Amino acid sequence: MSKSTWLFLLASLLCIPAASAAEPAPPRYNTIALQADAQREVQNDLLDATLYVEVNDSTPAGVANAVNKSVNDALRVAKEHKGVRVRSGNNQTYPVYSKANQLQGWRGRGEIRVESKDFEAASGLIGKLQSGMQLGRIQFTVSPESRRAAENELITEAIAAFKSRAEIVKTALGGRGYKLQNLNVSSGHNVPQPRLAIARAAPTAQEMTPPSLEAGISVITVNANGTIEILE
């Protein structure tokens, strides 16, 4: 066999895979998009509260000094409460103008954040701090570790619900089976508005009555959505 013939055969063999690869994938029929989810109510076990102080003064230095003193005093008090995490929040200083656009003075605001799983300890600390600060908000959520544990269990339930729906669709279409093409799993949560009762003391009291707290629940959801192909 001549050299030219060998070269021709080699070129032909090299072209066969390329031609096969260029062929379009066969179309898929009987594809169905499905979605299923699993939900669970989980007790909120983490408190996040913000307390703040606002001060007026004729100079920004005077404002900053007063705000810093209040925040530092609050942080010192907080160190005495075990099981409660406290950190500084946002601090702001800004000018105050009259209607005639004349500078009247300065106003400052300082915040601290209180976080804890021990609601009784957090409530006691908030009651003490309210003698010199105002309570801005209290929010209850599920802690990351509790959320992760609930989501791990719900993933199995959501996938089982997805497979159950796939079986229903397969039977309704008269298929002999189905093939899973893709599946996405995601999670989310909804936090119902908790009830917060605050027992108020007289303004001259040295120590405020601690607030009564009701943490409420969060609804955690895991969603499974994907596509299946019904086999005829």
- At residue 210, φ and ψ (nearest 5 deg) are -60, 145
SS (H, E, C) 109-150: EEEEEEEECCHHHHHHHHHHHCCCCEEEEEEEECCHHHHHHH
- Is the pLDDT at 181 greater than 60, yes or no? yes
- Is the pLDDT at 193 greater than 80, yes or no? no
Q: pLDDT digits over 134-160, tens only? A: 999 999 999 999 999 999 999 999 999
| Nearest-angstrom CA–CA distance, 168 and 76 | 62
Whether residue 188 contacts residue 112, with contact meaning beta carbons closer than 8 Å, is answered with no
pLDDT of residue 10: 47
| Nearest-angstrom CA–CA distance, 69 and 74 | 9
pLDDT of residue 185: 95
| Nearest-angstrom CA–CA distance, 141 and 119 | 12
Per-residue pLDDT band for 227 (boundaries 50, 70, 90) equals very high
- Is the pLDDT at 73 greater than 70, yes or no? yes
- Is the pLDDT at 9 greater than 70, yes or no? no
Per-residue pLDDT band for 110 (boundaries 50, 70, 90) equals very high
Report percent pLDDT > 90 for the chain: 63
Per-residue pLDDT band for 34 (boundaries 50, 70, 90) equals very high
pLDDT of residue 205: 46
Across 122-145, average pLDDT: 92
Per-residue pLDDT band for 1 (boundaries 50, 70, 90) equals low
| Nearest-angstrom CA–CA distance, 212 and 207 | 15
Task: Find the angle CA(82)-CA(50)-CA(78) to the nearest 5 degrees.
Answer: 25
**How many beta carbons lie within 10 A of that of residue 9, not counting itself?**
10
Across 153-181, average pLDDT: 95
